[in-house]
Structure 1
Amino acid sequence: SGETVIVTKDDLATLPVNRSPEISILEFVPREQVDPIYFDKPYYLEPASKSPKAYTLLAKALEATDRLAVAEFTLRNRTRLAVVRIIDGVMTLQTLLWPDEVRRPDFKFLDTDVELRPQELEMAASLIETMATDFDPSRFEDKYQIELGKLIESKSEGGQAFPETEEPESDDDSEVADLLAALRASVKDRAPQRELAEDAPVKQPRPLAG
């Protein structure tokens, strides 16, 4: 109606949702039905009581059934939706975005009929399979932190760490060629590592829920 209403912190503190410190489990759903696009932040959970039996029982049951526990709780005076999943035997509370917080793609190119030659798709798929491996986050590094260090060091010496360069314009065919060339280069760089990995003894992977 256009009327101004002033709400104070004390008023917000009276909301009933703020009064419960508990994590309420609402239901159990198949793990694959929760799209990772809804994932927000993870928090490790530990038992609130001296005995970890109930905690361990629920964790083992979630692993055995390959399900996630959908939960609600209050964090910083806001109701949050979350799932409880098991990581290395520890219950992890993974907060979720609400559906209205996830943007739906609305790009013009989605209505464009893109022509792909069969050989282009076959080559791209073949190169992807050549680079296929198991995910190991320890193999990667935070390039931002590394470049930030270079920037600080360069500025302390009065220089310029990253001179600007102009990128040439490209058309669709050249972009496809660049993609395939980049994939080929990646495969070539990884070839020695893959040979070493294939010669190394293979350990049986441990099943993880979540």
Structure 2
Amino acid sequence: MFYADEIRALQKQYAKPEVSEQELNMAKMLINSMDTPFDPSKYQDEYQTKLRTLIEAKISGKEVVAAEFENPSKVIDLMEALKASVEKAKKDKELA
């Protein structure tokens, strides 16, 4: 809890991101290429599946060992990722 005199209004300072025209066009192409109806049957809740497997292993008396945490070290180039994604989406649409 705070008293009224302890509350200060925050200054709203939002930096407008710098986006090139090429990045904007690639993003629009990517979005337009992926405008298919959503089919939830294509997806599975992997977290729930792994959690259920873990719980069943513990119930059966097996020793459960936690996996080591891996630090992501690869920095992804956004433009290359967008281009690859657009190309993949185009190929997927052609095959469909």
State TM-score, norm by structure 2: 0.56
> Larger % of strand: which?
1
> Larger % of helix: which?
2
Aligned twin of 1:176: 78
**Counterparts in 2 of 1:50-61, with a 5 A limit?**
none
Aligned length: 84
| Counterparts in 2 of 1:115 and 1:164: CA distance versus 1, 3 Å | same
Gaps of 5+ in 2: 1-9
**Counterparts in 2 of 1:150-169, with a 5 A limit?**
150-152=53-55, 157-160=62-65, 162-168=67-73
Distance in 2 between the 1:153 and 1:127 partners? 41
Distance in 2 between the 1:150 and 1:187 partners? 34
Distance in 2 between the 1:116 and 1:149 partners? 44
State TM-score, norm by structure 1: 0.30
Is 1:122 equivalent to 2:25 in the alignment?
A: yes
Greater radius of gyration (CA): 1
Distance in 2 between the 1:134 and 1:146 partners? 25
Distance in 2 between the 1:149 and 1:169 partners? 31
| Counterpart AA for 1:139 | K
Give identity over the alignment, percent: 32
4+ residue runs over 6 A deviation: none
Gaps of 5+ in 1: 1-105, 197-210
